[in-house]
Amino acid sequence: MYDAIVIGAGPAGLQAALTLGRMHRSTLLLDSGEYRNGTVLHMHNVIANDGTAPAEFRATARAQLAAYADVEVRGIGVGVGVGVESIGGTEDDGFEVTLAGGSTVGARRVILATGVADDLPDVPGLDALWGRTAFSCPFCDGHEHAGKAIAILGPAPRAEHLIGLLGRFVGEITVFPVGEAHSDDEQRALGALGARVSVAPVDAVASVDDGVRITAGAEDVTVAGVFVAAGSVRQRAPFVEQLGLRMLPSGAIEIDDFGRTSMPGISAAGDLAHRAALPGLMASVVMASAAGQLAAIGVIQSLVAADH
């Protein structure tokens, strides 16, 4: 029976395990080897790691965790719930985590750090570019396109938001609708913001030597990078339904300031959860790490209270 099991070994899970280990709490960190930024070449806007490859970041973190005898890191096969099939139990009696294949491990507390998965719009070629020359976060990847031509794929309201963030420092912006053309009013609104607007929806994207070639009807445009204003994210694992956790309109798990979910003994950290006071997911490596630390602190405090 571990003090805590952390499911997911991205920034949130790694930081949670480090915090628990430093307080000598027996911890099992379960790592499926699948990560939201698994295709990303370089992280940005991460102090002391600006430009670091995510794989290097994870390897450094795991090497540092090896110094803590109370932390066990276990690689697990990718299964229905990133290598974990189910979670059962209660805060009072402890939790049982069933791994893919049927083996079980127990813990007094569980931290969910399984993250979310990106469901990209159905644009041929986009999957191959994701995290390399196609992005969603201007804070993470906007600076690298300063002065360069970019494209935005997606509906007008979300495109307008990206133009507001990126328009100050990138070069020409071309907005391509996805699926259906923008209305005349939407085209005028986007044009008023300084963007060039494609009438035809995007047909396909492809990598070329100097960036990305975008085909839309009879038009071919080459840009340095693409920002996707369409698509959605979803919970990577099925634990929300299994545990009956309270959800937010954003599709994220509702947590309090210390990462506690609506089920006592179950915490969550990273992209999969946020506080109700926030308007939605605030996805970044730094914020995920901070959430992992807060969740671990909350778990440690609850264990202290339970033992005294």
* 142-174 pLDDT per residue, tens: 999 999 999 999 999 999 999 999 999 999 999
Per the DSSP assignment, residues forming a β-bridge with 128 are none
CA distance 160 to 175: 9
Do the domains 121-228 and 2-118+232-307 match in fold?
Answer: yes
pLDDT band per the 50, 70, 90 thresholds, residue 77: low
Of 273, 282, 287, 295, which Cα lies nearest the Cα of 46? Answer: 287
Contact (Cβ atoms closer than 8 angstroms) between residue 262 and residue 117: no
Query: Is the pLDDT assigned to residue 80 strictly greater than 50?
Result: no
Q: Looking at residues 87-98, what average pLDDT do you find?
A: 96
* 178-223 pLDDT per residue, tens: 999 999 999 999 999 999 999 999 999 999 998 999 999 999 999 9
Residue length, the chain? 308
pTM over 0.85: yes
Task: For the chain, state the CA radius of gyration.
Answer: 21
CA distance 4 to 2: 5
Query: Is the pLDDT assigned to residue 78 strictly greater than 80?
Result: no
Q: Looking at residues 15-26, what average pLDDT do you find?
A: 98
pLDDT > 70: percent of the chain: 98
Cβ neighbours for 267, distance < 8 A, ≥ 6 positions apart = 109, 110, 111, 112, 255, 258, 259, 260, 261, 295, 298, 299
Tokens encoding 305: 């209270």
Assigned CATH topology for domain 2-118+232-307: FAD/NAD(P)-binding domain (3.50.50)
pLDDT top residue among 17 and 281 = 17
Of 265, 271, 267, which Cα lies nearest the Cα of 283? Answer: 271
Tokens encoding 81: 């719930």
pLDDT band per the 50, 70, 90 thresholds, residue 100: confident
List the beta strands (DSSP E) in 67-156.
71-75, 84-90, 94-99, 104-112, 116-119, 134-135, 150-153
Of 71, 110, 114, which Cα lies nearest the Cα of 303? Answer: 110
List the beta strands (DSSP E) in 129-264.
134-135, 150-153, 173-176, 196-197, 204-208, 211-216, 219-223, 225-228, 232-235, 253-255
Task: Tell me the CATH architecture of domain 121-228.
Answer: 3-Layer(bba) Sandwich (3.50)
**Encoded amino acid at 23, one letter:** M
State residue 79's pLDDT score. Answer: 44
Tokens encoding 281: 């997911």
Contact (Cβ atoms closer than 8 angstroms) between residue 255 and residue 262: no
Of 97, 83, 113, which Cα lies nearest the Cα of 20? Answer: 113
* 229-248 pLDDT per residue, tens: 988 999 988 899 999 999 99
Ramachandran area for residue 74 (φ above 0: left; ψ -120 to 50: alpha; else beta): beta
Ramachandran area for residue 211 (φ above 0: left; ψ -120 to 50: alpha; else beta): left
Q: How many CB atoms lie within 10 A of CB 157?
A: 10
Domain ranges of the chain: 2-118+232-307, 121-228
Alpha helices (H) in the chain, listed in sequence order: 11-22, 54-65, 126-129, 138-141, 156-166, 184-192, 239-243, 285-307
